[in-house]
Amino acid sequence: MGIIEKMRLDGKRGFVTGAARGIGKCTATAFAEAGADVAIVDMDLETAQATAQEIAQATGRKVIALKCDVTDEAQVQAMVDEVVRQLGGLDFCHANAGICINAPADEMTYAQWKKNMDVNLNSVFLTDTIAGRYMLSHGGGSIINTASMSAHIVNVPQPQCAYNASKAGVIQLTKSLAVEWAKRGVRVNSISPGYIGTDLTLSSETLKPLIAQWNAMAPMGRLGKPEELESICVYLAGDTSTFTTGADFGLDGAFTCF
């Protein structure tokens, strides 16, 4: 079997949170294109259903849509149970849901801080551990977490201390779970995207004025594209990455190199 065949995900089942649009939609599409059956998990069920139908029609794979508040333990458990029921098992997952609250630290409310931590870090703990328990008892699996280059640097000019801290937490959580589960068949890795030109970023009235400044600071002089994150996620979900765990993959066009 050649390397291209080995990279495929035929027969595998997984889910992506925050997958109705943006990065999550791209990775879910890539998983299905590689042969996997996939659940599109999002709070926006209507958009998730449209995304699932679009991917299913394009790939011929079984793609389902599930609504889930990933900060709610009971809902995450129910979501994982439903993925297993409808897809027949769980081999990988991509914990991708997240938010960013831009507010100066001296003006940020504690409620804003807690919401950012709840969505960006606590939800990853819930998703990873609930999916992980299933994988640990069913022969193993692969977990991919979306961190950020903001775990490694302090972004400017936008103030986002809560986001930066939460994403740093994602990386340390990733490494901790990877070490705990290394001998039990479950691998845990993270990706750290830089500035990515998602529809949300490109249409945001708050962020659009910052793009020129970001690009001026970037070695490659541009935003990344969501599809430029796909191949690493397919690699991590599959069987060619069986010695890869506890790693964080920087996907930022060298932004964090200086």
User: Which residue among 167, 190, 195, 235 is the active-site one?
Assistant: 167
Residue 195 bears catalytic tag:
no
Residue 12 bears catalytic tag:
no
User: Which residue among 123, 142, 148, 190 is the active-site one?
Assistant: 148
- The closest of 136, 132, 99, 111 to 22, measured between CA atoms, is 99
Burial (CB count <10 Å: 0-12, 13-18, 19+), residue 216: exposed
User: Which residue among 12, 134, 150, 163 is the active-site one?
Assistant: 163
Tell me how crowded residue 162 is: count the other CB atoms within 10 A of its CB: 23
3-class DSSP state for residue 43?
A: coil
Residue 62 bears catalytic tag:
no
3-class DSSP state for residue 44?
A: coil
Angle CA 114–117–120, to nearest 5: 145
- Amino acid, single-letter form, for residue 152: H
First to last CA, the chain: 41
Residues taking part in catalysis: 148, 163, 167
